[in-house]
Structure 1
């Protein structure tokens, strides 16, 4: 590690250091050697996720009486960083369960928690988080999926695209309009089982990076839902979804840090091994400066993430700090994983080399959980209001 084990201890306390080490042991023993295979096959590693569930790597911030770990956002950021150092697709599953778990833990009924939250954290049921539509990406308010009241409950119609876990999910958390006239105040969230008539699964998307995470479309063709499918209060869906975004952005920032950590480790190892002009390329100033810049951005990103997480844990309004951390860390990952490919030279452009995969995996961090342009808009509005 470019920053030795123990920095968690100095910043956050021994319990975080132990969490980091135990997660790192899982990553090094079970994940890193499989990452390239999973990327090539675009394979959903259910056995790894079941192992993670047994190790307590899902539901980090979910209360223990609901089946979670009962830790804080700082602990979640530690787990996300360590997992993505191994493979970002696997970290994404942890992040997805944290987001859906937070919604179910905060707004779900006891029956919903027993039916969905606990089995999900044991990885006995797989979830999807369905917001995005063709005309509603950054502009969530533009969704057109609707849910109308019926004599027996609700009828859901519409569709979603680019939904994480859509090809494999047993149920989906779906944002829909229940009052078109009310706009964002007329949105509600529904829990929709994949075996309901009218639930359609589109083809799996073939992505540039993070290829082992399954993404696809969902369609809802007049699905009849019972009243208990509604999650939380009617008309509060937009606010509920937004309430978990800060944690989600800390998660993506942490994932970005993990990708950059893996890239700098690979770059140092290769620079010491590769010889040109009679000496290792690590002796050349051009290489040294790239590695030094990577280290600076890595440490800055990590500290921004920890600051944002600590603010969330303290109950502060941390939205702008989460946006800063996500934007900076994602940009740093994309910029410096490119440097890692450059350090590797021609071999860095070859499939099967770790930094080539990291280069592809990093790009999406600037896009999901709100594009970095949206993050800059949030930051600027906060400063200029």
Structure 2
């Protein structure tokens, strides 16, 4: 699919399915499962996952464009797209056929909910400080630890968990990834955050109390988890940047429309020079952020956001 067609398809979807319910979702904190199933049907989950694994086989720029357009409608929806992109990419790259059948296909269809369990009370940006551990017990693994600030923890069907498997080596070959059933014995959903924004994107914690995992729960080779996680986090940062850019474009459009239609002292607010200057600054900042994205690519599918106030 040409990227222009992709952008127009996502814009149409957002206008019809996301923007009309965004306010209700943010107010009620409802998880919009029906929206994600429709996104799965349109190929908007797992944008860069290869077609052979059920993804769309798109480029990273395609993913960035999808994230920005979804976020323009409601950032919680884009947040879910970004989460599936990261977990789906790891499952595609490292999963066995059995793991893909159990988790990846439903994830990309929007019918299975994942969590990406990295952050801990004492380790967030510094993943080398993880305290969650897993050790072998015969053919099984035993997982113990706590994760906090985890997207989808309150609603997930499964979590991809990063744990220390060799305390001596840690991030230099001593961390591994595990696929953990969120309802398995010993797994506890610890809490749900009360958020100020993106309220339909639930965040919470997990406690793993000596959770027994089969050997097949290991994703990828033992000790390769840290490098794998960093690899997809690079793409994740691009997605978050695009999410922020979608929010800024929506804010600019909303502010500009209000300035044009709201009248004070017999004229639109936009006729006030101070207001017009503020809108111009917003438009400049947004366009600058968009150009950062396009600087590495000859493609540009959108006209610059400009203020005529």
TM-score (normalizing by structure 2): 0.94
Give the counterpart of 2:43 among 38, 52, 56. Answer: 56
Give the counterpart of 2:17 among 24, 27, 30. Answer: 30
1:89-128 deviation line (CA, Å, top 9, x unaligned) = 0100000000001111111112211211111101221100
1:302 to partner: Cα distance: 1.2
Report the counterpart of residue 281 of structure 1 in structure 2: 269
1:66 to partner: Cα distance: 0.4
Report the counterpart of residue 116 of structure 1 in structure 2: 103
2:235 aligned with 1:247: yes
- Secondary structure of the residue aligned to 1:65 is helix
Question: For the residues of structure 1 that align with 2:244 and 2:2, how far apart are their CA atoms?
Answer: 23
Q: 1:110 to 1:307 in 2, by over 3 A?
A: farther
Task: Figure out how many residues of one structure are paired with residues of the other and give that number.
Answer: 298
Report the counterpart of residue 117 of structure 2 in structure 1: 130
Is 2:75–2:198's contact at 8 Å kept on the other side of the alignment?
A: yes
Report the counterpart of residue 223 of structure 2 in structure 1: 235
- Secondary structure of the residue aligned to 1:203 is strand
Is 2:91–2:100's contact at 8 Å kept on the other side of the alignment?
A: yes
Is 1:132–1:163's contact at 8 Å kept on the other side of the alignment?
A: yes
Task: From the two aligned structures, give the one with the greater helix fraction.
Answer: 1
Report the counterpart of residue 305 of structure 1 in structure 2: 293
TM-score (normalizing by structure 1): 0.75
2:148 aligned with 1:148: no
Question: For the residues of structure 2 that align with 1:307 and 1:241, how far apart are their CA atoms?
Answer: 26
1:258-313 deviation line (CA, Å, top 9, x unaligned) = 001101110111001111122111111111111111111111111212346x59xx
Runs of 4+ in 1 over 2 A off after TM superposition: 305-308
Give the counterpart of 2:82 among 77, 95, 118. Answer: 95
1:121-270, aligned counterparts within 5 Å?
121-185=108-172, 186-270=174-258
1:65-96 deviation line (CA, Å, top 9, x unaligned) = 10100110111011100000000001000000
Report the counterpart of residue 26 of structure 2 in structure 1: 39
1:160 to partner: Cα distance: 0.3
- Secondary structure of the residue aligned to 2:56 is coil
1:141 to partner: Cα distance: 0.9
Is 1:253–1:305's contact at 8 Å kept on the other side of the alignment?
A: no
- RMSD over aligned Cα, in angstroms? 1.4
1:23-75 deviation line (CA, Å, top 9, x unaligned) = 01111111112111111101100111111111111010001110100110111
Q: Which region of structure 1 is more displaced relative to structure 2, 89-98 or 183-192?
A: 183-192
- Secondary structure of the residue aligned to 2:162 is strand
Is 2:185–2:211's contact at 8 Å kept on the other side of the alignment?
A: yes
Report the counterpart of residue 71 of structure 2 in structure 1: 84
Q: Which residues of structure 2 form unaligned runs of 5+?
A: 299-308
Question: For the residues of structure 2 that align with 1:288 and 1:180, how far apart are their CA atoms?
Answer: 58
- Secondary structure of the residue aligned to 1:182 is coil
